[in-house]
Amino acid sequence: MKNLLPASERNIRFAAEVIRRGGLVAFPTETVYGLGADALNPKAVARVYEVKGRPRFDPLIVHISSADHLSLVVDDVPEDARRLIKEFWPGPLTLVLKKSDRVPPITTAGLPTVAVRMPDHPVALKLIEYSGRPIAAPSANPFGYVSPTSAEQVAETLGERVDVILDAGPTRIGVESTILAVSEGKVLLLRPGGLPVEEVERVLGKRVELPRDGRTVAPGMLKKHYSPRTPLFLIGDWNDYFRLRARYGRVLLLSPKPIWGVEGEVVHLSQRGDVREVAQNLFGILYRIDKLDYPAVAVLPVEEEGLGRAVMNRLRKASVR
């Protein structure tokens, strides 16, 4: 594919020029690959929605590389946000703050707030810096489908509709950023992600308000998402697994830790039972499942703490109910 380029210095500079001219660049971050456009150019942002097939009510995250960029997109940074930025940027933490007038409505889906983060990836940071623009970027996958953790996955699903795809290998964290809404004195979790909520609470010295179970708290946070085409079932116990086998015949089992003695086929999401490894492998394995032709997939749960919250959130949304 002509548009799939290794993320060399020269190709990053070329991609930055594409951004400046209103084009689309898929690029690696530490979480997943993003589909980027100049966040301040409404026409370029419109193309992001179009290429992804993303509904216009689902706002984008604006990626920045400097404090100057932050003051371009928000006028005022509350104290809690300042502390989080100091501690966790660059990193997998997105903050939803009141937007400045310079951010066009299409980028924030008409909301008075903007979601902003500084990614912890040299290629992403250079791309933003060289283009001189904040870059609006959702995950680089067709809407509702599994997020990409490799450049090949972007190339296979979005193909030539993206001007450039910068390839820097698989992503380190593998699930999207944690999203927090920060307003005067209040911090609300909009989406669990790569930064554990426990770490946020440690730094702020107070509790983060958690969404009530199953509630849609952020716009665009649909119940179903991240879904492979193969029906996926999050199982509670072995009875669930045997029921699925009775119903579907062949069932691929995904396990977050090594298990033995199961008769059917098993894929280990982690060889060590380490939730970070599970997060890293999750989307890549969900993506490959669709090529394997199983009638159904069963997944064993992980503990709902730390990164496990993000993993369970993605698995629930990917699963059939």
Binding site for ligand AMP (CB under 6 A): 58-61, 96, 108, 111, 113-115, 138-139, 176, 179, 190, 218-221
CA distance 129 to 135: 10
CB closer to Mg ion, 35 vs 72:
35
Tokens in use for 123? 């290629």
Q: Minimum distance from CB of 32 to ligand AMP (Å)?
A: 8
CA distance 25 to 133: 13
Contact by Cβ (8 Å): 27, 34: yes
CB closer to Mg ion, 29 vs 139:
139
Judge residue 20's burial from the number of C-beta atoms within 10 Å of its C-beta, 0-12 exposed, 13-18 middle, 19 or more buried: middle
CB closer to ligand AMP, 30 vs 176:
176
Counting residues that bind Mg ion (by CB under 5 A) gives 1
* The entry of ligand AMP, Mg ion, none that residue 84 binds, CB within 5 to 8 Å by partner kind: none
Contact by Cβ (8 Å): 56, 109: yes
From residue 97 to residue 136, the character string flagging contacts with Mg ion as x (rule: CB under 5 A) and all else as - is ----------------------------------------
For 49, list phi and psi in degrees, rounded to 5.
-60, -40
DSSP for 175-234?
Answer: SPPEEEEEETTEEEEEE--SS-HHHHHHHHTSPPBPPPTT---STT--SS-S--SS-EEE
* The entry of Mg ion, ligand AMP, none that residue 142 binds, CB within 5 to 8 Å by partner kind: none
Q: Minimum distance from CB of 280 to Mg ion (Å)?
A: 17
Tokens in use for 224? 């179903």
From residue 130 to residue 159, the character string flagging contacts with Mg ion as x (rule: CB under 5 A) and all else as - is ---------x--------------------
CB closer to Mg ion, 78 vs 194:
194
CB closer to ligand AMP, 208 vs 218:
218
* The entry of ligand AMP, Mg ion, none that residue 188 binds, CB within 5 to 8 Å by partner kind: none
* The entry of Mg ion, ligand AMP, none that residue 111 binds, CB within 5 to 8 Å by partner kind: ligand AMP
Q: Minimum distance from CB of 208 to ligand AMP (Å)?
A: 15
CB closer to ligand AMP, 11 vs 71:
71
DSSP for 225-263?
Answer: -S--SS-EEE-SSHHHHHHHHHHHSSEEEEESS-----S
Q: Minimum distance from CB of 121 to ligand AMP (Å)?
A: 15
Q: Return the HEC string of 119-154.
A: CCCHHHHHHHHHHCCCEECCECCCCCCCCCCCHHHH
Q: Minimum distance from CB of 147 to ligand AMP (Å)?
A: 7
- Sign of the CA dihedral with 227 first, then 123, 167, and 163 last: positive
Distances (CA, A) of 152 to 49, 281, 301: 21, 15, 28
Q: Minimum distance from CB of 26 to ligand AMP (Å)?
A: 13
CB closer to Mg ion, 33 vs 89:
33
CB closer to ligand AMP, 53 vs 258:
53
Which residue has the CB atom at the shortest distance from Mg ion? 139
Residue ranges in contact with Mg ion by CB under 5 A:
139
